[in-house]
């Protein structure tokens, strides 16, 4: 895979550093990216998502879900066993891990639950009212006028250009 230098993007734009960082991470992702623990990302509604992570062998106390720097960070640390166990076969990995999921703007975590060996993290996208599209009514009347008042004096009405 060819390396891309995103330095010109950083120099020529303001406020897009998060997007550039995301592209940089995606382009430099290691081919042998960690696959433990396995996870699903599903869309549960128009603006709702769920990350489900298989965390067999971990209790809710062993797990940590944190939101930091526009990402959800899930980590697990298994408490040390009190007694010595002798395994004939050990197929359930309970090694420590940390998974990071980058979030888009206006996506926030609404909750997390640990059920039947699965950690479910609920996410919702809440677009602020100011950024939502809005319909502007078109008037069939003449343009409105605005009367300006300066310290109690009336000025002639000014026409608004729309």
Q: Per-residue pLDDT tens for 56-70?
A: 889 999 999 999 988
pLDDT in tens, 81-112: 666 778 888 888 788 899 999 888 889 999 99
Partners of 18 in the beta sheet?
none
The full set of domain ranges for the chain reads 1-33, 37-80+90-127
Partners of 67 in the beta sheet?
72
pLDDT in tens, 4-61: 666 666 666 566 666 667 777 666 665 556 778 999 999 999 989 999 999 988 999 9
Nearest to 67 by CA among 38, 26, 108: 108
Architecture of the domain delimited by 37-80+90-127: Sandwich (2.60)
Enumerate residues 6+ apart whose C-beta is below 8 A from 121.
50, 51, 52, 53, 65, 72, 74, 109, 111, 112
Q: Please calculate the CA angle 146-131-109 and round it to the nearest 5 degrees.
A: 150
For residues 39 and 70, give the distance between their C-alpha atoms in angstroms, rounded to a whole number. 19
């Amino acid at each position: 895979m060819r390396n891309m230098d995103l330095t010109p993007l950083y120099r020529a734009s303001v406020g897009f550093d998060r997007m550039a960082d995301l592209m940089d991470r995606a382009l430099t992702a290691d081919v042998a990216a960690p696959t433990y623990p396995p996870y699903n990302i599903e869309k549960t509604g128009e603006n709702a998502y769920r990350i489900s992570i298989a965390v067999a062998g971990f209790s809710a106390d062993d797990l940590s879900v944190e939101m930091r720097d526009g990402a959800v960070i899930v980590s697990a640390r298994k408490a040390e066993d009190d007694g010595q166990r002798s395994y004939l076969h050990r197929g359930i990995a309970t090694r420590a891990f940390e998974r990071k999921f980058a979030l888009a703007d206006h996506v926030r975590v609404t909750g997390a639950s640990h059920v039947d060996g699965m950690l479910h993290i609920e996410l919702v996208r809440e677009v602020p009212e100011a950024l939502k599209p809005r319909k502007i009514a078109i008037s069939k009347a003449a343009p409105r006028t605005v009367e300006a008042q300066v310290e109690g004096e009336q000025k002639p009405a000014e026409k608004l250009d729309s």
